[in-house]
Structure 1
Amino acid sequence: MNARWQQAVVIFNLLATIAWLAWQWPRSPLMALAGVAAALALFGLVLGLQFVTMLRVNRSDPAPRPSWRQLASAWLAEARLALVVFGWRQPFRHSAVPDWLPPLAPGQRATRRGVVLVHGFLCNRGFWLPWMAALRERGHAYVAVTLEPAFGSMDDYAATVDGAVQRVTEATGMAPVVVGHSMGGLVARAWLRSLAPDTAAARMHRVITLGTPHGGTWAGRFSRSVNGQQMALGGDWVQQLQQDEPAARAARFICWYSNCDNIVFPAGTAMLLGADNRLVEGVAHMQMAFDPAVMGACLEEIARG
């Protein structure tokens, strides 16, 4: 499970920090704290370089240019979320909240549509913890998948998504809404491609994507994993996926994209031709999944049934 290597990274960093403090504190408390601050600054610098690269690549994109205030806010929000998501939710809380499929009496039909949650690259189902709480509070059954192996082909994840869709459909009597963040939106499309067109149309009600590189992303060129290479900007895999899809399918997609997405850029690559493409300004990549306005709009769409 990909949570294990994330646990190992977190524990290693904690032990290294403790060892550094134990070594340096007797000599100089100021030096000990400065070393910790330097490590955090390096993390912030690497994240900042993503935003700088995004700005340069987005110069030719029609999305509006973000203000410096928007960039700073997005950078701070993404830094905080990276620590929370990769330092706590995914390594240690990925199985803390189970899928919620409330049983129905024989012949009974659910009054609210269910949801399948599909995470992105290097993530697991723990990414969706705030969504799980919100969906259950509103009475929506849900299944959150973990895509494994972490660096496999997106085509091989189709069976995992199909099983989740089947479980939600059986629990509610209705085709679910599929919500995908980042790579998860492409996985949802790969799942639909694996089905016959008529079957695909009946198996899902709508697909909502959040910062999904439908046209690939600039950073994909540097990946050495199978799924990372599949997300290369304008790459063979994303182009073939577009060619294989029925023209009318995109009309059932809502695609959120941002002018401050530090992972998926140019910004327009998160749009899907023929879909309901919605721009949210000043929101970073992970932040998009938890932005109150975006999350609220998605929950309203899910409740609309």
Structure 2
Amino acid sequence: MNGRLQRIWVVLRLLAALAVGWYFGWAWGVLTLGLHAAVLALGFVQLRWVNRPPPAWGQLLRAWAREVVASELAFAWRQPWREWAEPDHLPANAPHGVLLVHGFSCNRGRWNGWMKRLREQGVAFIAPSMEPAFGSIDAYTDEIEAGVRRLQALTGRMPVLCAHSMGGLALRAWWRKYGAGHETPHVITLGSPHQGTRMAALGLGVNTQQMRLGNAWLGALPGLPNADCFWTPCDQIVNPAERAILPGARAHRLDGVGHMGLVHSPEAWKVLQEALRAPSLQTALAGSSFNTPRRI
């Protein structure tokens, strides 16, 4: 559904720019296309008053410039038109697996860059487009479980779970429902509102309500035993910035990067590569002289 909505939005933007250009001159038409960047700038400016300590103006400017490119790439190209350009990759005898979970108002096309690189490495991956687009986050757990089970059957080990934005909450909801049947996964979240975000008050849909500050649904979610959380003080979507840090997780701060840009960060990709090289918990326990009880 998000792909269809974004295709409509792209067409409307182009039609509006053509209409303005026809009546007022083509320079004005080009500026009309740039309104997105102007609105995006307001989201970064407000971080000077929301986050403490406030990010420097230079960091915000750098993050805004990168975010204009990242958001246009996502919402004007990959998600509306290239959702299935990189199909799920399930090669026989794959040694590793990765499940990629997108965030709010996105689809699997969000991960096209990562999927291409994982395919080149021979790593199995599944990236679902989660539906309903504006329904409860709990509704995504069954599809996540199906992906985990399929990758487990293929590789013989627990996949690494990677999530952007709201996807991190979907993984926690999945862990609450299905965690007792699995070994502990290595989870990587990028800009996930683990403690909510003030920006969710502006959104529509059940899932945005579940991301609001102080709501009961979010407060009842469990943590994740083995997680890396990437966050940025220049996050125009998840703020205050520290709300993207899950208590007990390994926190990674990135400066000069916006919310959508986190998926393009080489630091996050490096952590994923390290996770893929690490032995699974099951393998590590099998090679030890004793077993340690696991808590869920």
The answer as to whether partners of 1:258 and 1:283 remain within 8 angstroms in 2 is: yes
Amino acid of the residue matched to residue 273 of structure 1? P
Give the TM-score normalised by the residue count of structure 2: 0.89
Aligned-residue offset at 1:232: 0.3
Amino acid of the residue matched to residue 243 of structure 2? T
Residue of structure 1 equivalent to 2:108: 125
Deviations 1:240-293 (A, max 9, x none): 11xxx2xxx533111111111110011111111111111112211010111123
Q: Does 1:193 align with 2:176?
A: yes
Residue of structure 1 equivalent to 2:15: 15
Residue of structure 2 equivalent to 1:262: 236
> RMSD of the alignment, in Å?
1.7
Distance 1:256 1:293, change over 3 A: same
Match of 1:136 among 116, 119, 144: 119
What stretches of structure 2 of length at least 5 have no aligned partner? 280-296
Q: Does 1:46 align with 2:29?
A: no
The answer as to whether partners of 2:101 and 2:163 remain within 8 angstroms in 1 is: yes
DSSP-derived class of the 1:278 partner = strand
Aligned-residue offset at 1:155: 0.4
Give the TM-score normalised by the residue count of structure 1: 0.86
Deviations 1:155-202 (A, max 9, x none): 01101111111111111111111100000010011111112x5314x2
- In 1, the alpha carbon distance for the partners of 2:20 and 2:45 equals 31
Amino acid of the residue matched to residue 154 of structure 1? I
- In 1, the alpha carbon distance for the partners of 2:62 and 2:198 equals 23
Deviations 1:130-177 (A, max 9, x none): 000111222210000111111000001101111111111111111111
Amino acid of the residue matched to residue 16 of structure 1? A
Match of 1:304 among 274, 278, 281: 278
Residue of structure 1 equivalent to 2:150: 167
Aligned-residue offset at 1:49: 1.2
Q: Is 7-16 or 114-123 further displaced after alignment?
A: 7-16
Identity within the alignment, %: 43
- In 2, the alpha carbon distance for the partners of 1:65 and 1:54 equals 7
Deviations 1:100-150 (A, max 9, x none): 00023xxxxx43x20000000000000000000111222210000111111
Q: How does 1:142-221 map to 2 (within 5 A)?
A: 142-195=125-178, 197-200=179-182, 202=183, 205-221=185-201
- In 2, the alpha carbon distance for the partners of 1:225 and 1:198 equals 29
Residue of structure 1 equivalent to 2:6: 6
- In 2, the alpha carbon distance for the partners of 1:46 and 1:19 equals 20
Aligned-residue offset at 1:234: 2.1
What stretches of structure 1 of length at least 5 have no aligned partner? 25-30, 105-109
The answer as to whether partners of 1:2 and 1:148 remain within 8 angstroms in 2 is: no
Q: How does 1:239-278 map to 2 (within 5 A)?
A: 239-241=219-221, 245=222, 250-278=224-252
- In 2, the alpha carbon distance for the partners of 1:293 and 1:162 equals 27
DSSP-derived class of the 1:194 partner = helix
Deviations 1:60-110 (A, max 9, x none): xxxx54222211110011111111110010001001211000023xxxxx4
- In 1, the alpha carbon distance for the partners of 2:266 and 2:84 equals 24
Residue of structure 2 equivalent to 1:93: 82
DSSP-derived class of the 1:83 partner = helix
Distance 1:119 1:286, change over 3 A: same
DSSP-derived class of the 1:150 partner = coil
Deviations 1:2-29 (A, max 9, x none): 21111111122223333443x33xxxxx
- In 2, the alpha carbon distance for the partners of 1:87 and 1:41 equals 13
Amino acid of the residue matched to residue 232 of structure 1? R
Deviations 1:14-66 (A, max 9, x none): 23333443x33xxxxxx42332243244322211111122221113xxxx542
The answer as to whether partners of 2:100 and 2:125 remain within 8 angstroms in 1 is: yes
DSSP-derived class of the 1:209 partner = strand
- In 1, the alpha carbon distance for the partners of 2:107 and 2:225 equals 28
DSSP-derived class of the 2:224 partner = helix
The answer as to whether partners of 2:108 and 2:128 remain within 8 angstroms in 1 is: yes
Amino acid of the residue matched to residue 96 of structure 1? A
- In 2, the alpha carbon distance for the partners of 1:184 and 1:255 equals 12
Match of 1:295 among 269, 280, 291: 269
